[in-house]
Amino acid sequence: MAFFQCQMFSEVLEVQISLNVVVPQQGAAPFPTLYLLHGLSDDHTAWSRHTSIERYANARGIAVVMPAVNRSFYNDMSHGAKYWTFVSEELPKLARSFFPLSSEREHNFVAGLSMGGYGALKLGLSFPERFAAAASLSGAVDIDRLVAEKFGGDIHLSFGDPTAVKGSSVDLFALAEQVAEQALVPKLFQCCGTEDFLYEDNTRFRDYCYKLGLPLNYEEEPGNHDWGYWDMKIKRVIDWLPVKHS
């Protein structure tokens, strides 16, 4: 695998942005690609620093794109930059312009932890025509509850009026209901440790997906909101991805 540390200008964010990318050195290009999203207190370096993601990806022959989005919740912020537009529209185009990455739906996947788990499911459910699979590790899946009850400044900068979240395009429950009515649905993976502070949110979202009949693979076991758990589970996610090579 080749490892790239990238700095480039984002037209959407109007600022220099950073991302790390790993690309196979063997196999036929363009490569299947996993967009791997960080959590609230992390950045684009976290997955490479705290897990063996490069080794896991090499075993499946896939590229991994790891962007930085600060504490935006992968949202076009009410008081801030348009990170949702960046990650959903500009980032794939930038990454494919520099690296031999496939644009085919069957070759594109997204995953993330905590805030990034929310972002990953938001991408997969918003664009089922672009992503074959989406995975959330200890995800902040009930954003309506979090905006209303849990977080302060950062989350309100991203989402604004807490009463406007439920049922909107940033609500994973609403997005799940919407995609359940469509013919094209991404495969979904969700996991959470039973000692995690987001565990109840995750079981609530799991049950809702099951009710809708979505293709969700849910796993839980003893674990907390930490890198020991995420390193174990991202390997599981990589093994689960429906990777098809050209």
Higher pLDDT, 148 or 14: 14
Higher pLDDT, 105 or 161: 105
User: Residue 179 pLDDT > 90, yes or no?
Assistant: yes
Percent of the chain with pLDDT over 90: 91
The CA–CA distances, whole Å, from 29 to 2, 55, 56, 66 equal: 14, 19, 18, 19
Predicted model pTM? 0.97
What integer is the mean pLDDT of 177-189? 96
Amino acid (1-letter code) at residue 228: G
Amino acid (1-letter code) at residue 127: F
User: What is residue 180's predicted lDDT score, i.e. its pLDDT?
Assistant: 97
Tokens of 33: 């690609």
* pLDDT confidence band for 151 (50 / 70 / 90): low
Backbone angles phi, psi at 109, to 5 degrees: -140, 160
Percent of the chain with pLDDT over 70: 98
Q: Per-residue pLDDT tens for 54-87?
A: 999 999 999 999 999 999 999 999 999 999 999 9
User: What is residue 163's predicted lDDT score, i.e. its pLDDT?
Assistant: 86
Q: Domains along the chain? A: 2-240 (3.40.50.1820)
Report the alpha-carbon distance of residue 13 to residue 196 in Å, rounded: 33
| DSSP per-residue letters across 91-136 | HHHHHHHHS-B--SGGGEEEEEETHHHHHHHHHHHH-TTT-SEEEE
User: What is residue 161's predicted lDDT score, i.e. its pLDDT?
Assistant: 85
User: Residue 92 pLDDT > 80, yes or no?
Assistant: yes
Q: Per-residue pLDDT tens for 15-40?
A: 999 999 999 999 999 999 999 999 99
User: Residue 153 pLDDT > 80, yes or no?
Assistant: no
